[in-house]
Amino acid sequence: MPTADKALQGIFCKLEERLNRARRLHPEFACGPYEALGALEAEAGELAQEICKGKPGWKERAEDELYDVAVVAVRMLLREHVREEG
């Protein structure tokens, strides 16, 4: 069993990979706070669906959705949804 520090390091590494992928696929994250919140709600909804379905493989799919939620939250924390005026 990996130590908590190694496990956290692995999570941050995967989160960085997922963040970079999201930026490539969706360079325009959101046009403002409401759209960003909508993206966060959508990802959280997908996570809830995976957990509630409970079908075989749900844990892996739920983990995948957790990373999507985290990526959107990080992009919000980095204020990627805030656009500079002219």
Under the banding of pLDDT at 50, 70 and 90, the label for residue 83 is confident
Distance of CA 33 to the CA centre of its chain: 16
Each domain of the chain, given as residue ranges in start order, spans: 7-77
Question: The pTM is what?
Answer: 0.88
Alpha helices per DSSP H over the chain: 4-25, 33-53, 58-77
Q: What is the pLDDT of residues 31-51, one digit of tens each?
A: 999 999 999 999 999 999 999
Q: What is the pLDDT of residues 55-77, one digit of tens each?
A: 999 999 999 999 999 999 999 99
Give the chain's length.
Answer: 86
Task: Assess contact for 30 and 80: CB atoms under 8 A.
Answer: yes
Task: Assess contact for 40 and 29: CB atoms under 8 A.
Answer: no
